Amino acid sequence: MQGTLPIMNEEGEIVVVPVVVLDRKLGKVGHKAAVYLLVQWSTGPREAATWELYSDIEKRFHILISQHEVKLFKGGSNDTGINKARA
């Protein structure tokens, strides 16, 4: 069985990045509406996906997620291989 080696940084630490956006939902942060994404991470299976604030993912990974695709902001790295799961 062949696997994929994890992405490592210069210090030899495993870099955890979003791989697939499985779902999205509208929620609240305080008294304001917020978008949450169900994210599968590079170090885990779909079953380990977590709900994350879209704004946090956007800031940390410089990612723009539209309804049909995931795009990296200009100047961002395209090494993450991020995909959006199709319904």
Q: Tokens for 77?
A: 């790295």
Task: Decide if 76 is inside a domain.
Answer: yes
The answer to whether residue 56 sits within a structural domain is yes
Count the domains in the chain. Answer: 1
In a domain, 74, yes or no: yes
The answer to whether 44 and 53 are in contact (CB under 8 A) is no
The whole-angstrom distance between residue 6's C-alpha and the CA centroid of its chain comes to 15
In a domain, 59, yes or no: yes
Residue 9 within a domain:
no
Q: What is the domain range of residue 79?
A: 18-84
The domain that holds 71 is classified in CATH as 2.40.50
Model pTM greater than 0.75?
Answer: no
- Whether residue 1 lies inside any domain: the answer is no
pLDDT tens-digit readout, 19-46: 888 999 999 999 999 999 999 998 889 9
**pLDDT above 90 (res 48):** yes
**What does DSSP assign to residue 68?**
S
